[in-house]
């Protein structure tokens, strides 16, 4: 299996659908950087003393130039999943029979409950076929933003 063709996280999250892995954060940060630079917001520090435009701008610069290379290439957040999968000689935690009870995947099962479906799908069709399906979904525009918004942000329901 070519890891570059199917960028996936050892944990079971598909990187091609992640805002950091698919470049969405980089693009949006670049647009915001361009907007604040052309709008010349440097003056905001004189009005809002607790806000550092220089630090904000530095953060935008970082996000504009950063893109997660994925955990298979040494990127991503530090986690025990890589060590554990390597110790067990597994390409993915989704191949481990302990996935649904493992302490290392507890965070992923909590924050990304769809990984349980991913685990079940891998059991049905295998890792390669699952990754092909996830790549097709990513190319069709599926990403984790909707899930993350529902998970992290308070959504205001519009009355009919």
Tens of pLDDT, residue by residue over 3-56, are 556 788 899 888 888 888 778 889 999 999 999 999 888 888 888 889 899 899
User: In angstroms, rounded to a whole number, what is the distance separating the alpha carbons of residues 130 and 81?
Assistant: 19
Q: Name which of 101, 104, 69, 107 is nearest 85 in CA terms.
A: 104
Cα 143 to Cα 6, 67, 74, 158, 159: the distances in Å are: 15, 16, 22, 24, 27
> Which residues lie closer than 8 Å to 72 by C-beta, 6 or more apart?
3, 7, 8, 9, 10
Q: Mind listing the pLDDT tens digit for each residue in 42-85?
A: 888 888 889 899 899 999 999 999 878 888 887 777 788 999 99
Rounded Cα–Cα distance for residues 40 and 29 (Å): 16
Tokens of 26: 């980089």
Task: Please tell me which residue, 123 or 2, carries the higher pLDDT value.
Answer: 123
| Cα→Cα distances 12→18, 26, 71, 116, Å | 12, 23, 11, 9
Higher pLDDT residue, 13 or 150? 13
Alpha-carbon span 122 to 12, nearest angstrom: 10
Top-confidence residue, 104 or 2: 104
* Overall average pLDDT of the 92-119 stretch: 92
């Amino acid at each position: 299996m070519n890891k570059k063709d199917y960028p996936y996280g050892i944990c079971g999250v598909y990187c091609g659908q992640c805002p950091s892995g698919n470049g969405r954060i980089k693009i949006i940060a670049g647009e915001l950087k361009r907007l604040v630079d052309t709008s010349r917001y440097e003056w905001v520090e004189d009005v809002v003393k607790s806000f550092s435009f220089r630090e904000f701008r530095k953060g935008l610069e970082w996000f504009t130039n950063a893109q997660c290379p994925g955990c298979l290439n040494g990127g991503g957040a530090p986690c025990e999943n890589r060590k554990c999968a390597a110790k067990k000689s597994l390409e993915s935690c989704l191949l481990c029979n302990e996935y649904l009870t493992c302490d290392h995947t507890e965070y992923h099962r909590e924050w990304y409950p769809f990984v349980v479906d991913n685990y079940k799908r891998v059991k049905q069709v295998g890792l390669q076929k699952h990754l092909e399906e996830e790549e097709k979904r990513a190319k069709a525009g599926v990403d984790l933003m909707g899930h993350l918004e529902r998970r992290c942000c308070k959504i205001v329901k519009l009355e009919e």
